[in-house]
Amino acid sequence: MHENAELAEAIRRTAYFLWQQEGQPHGRALDHWLRAQHMHQRQMAYDRWLAEGTPVDRAEAHWNAAAGRIDES
């Protein structure tokens, strides 16, 4: 599976989990999808930042790189 497809699937699973946790409300699919995207973006940026040894001046760059990967999925 392509990396973008894997990321999209992970976001889908997270959005579905959030939907279930909130009692499966109708009409909130976009809210759950956006929350799931944000969660994955935050985790990807954090993982990259940690891998580089937590440089103070790189957090925003990692956030933006993760946003680009999310947009590609």
Per-residue pLDDT, 38:
96
Distances (CA, A) of 29 to 3, 33, 48, 50, 70: 23, 6, 29, 32, 17
Per-residue pLDDT, 55:
87
Per-residue pLDDT, 58:
87
Task: Give the global pTM.
Answer: 0.82
Alpha-carbon distance 57 to 53, whole Å? 11
Per-residue pLDDT, 39:
97
Per-residue pLDDT, 59:
84
Q: What is the pLDDT of residues 16-65, one digit of tens each?
A: 999 999 999 999 999 999 999 999 999 999 999 999 998 888 888 888 99
Dihedrals φ, ψ of 54, to 5°? 55, 50
Q: What is the pLDDT of residues 2-21, one digit of tens each?
A: 778 999 999 999 999 999 99
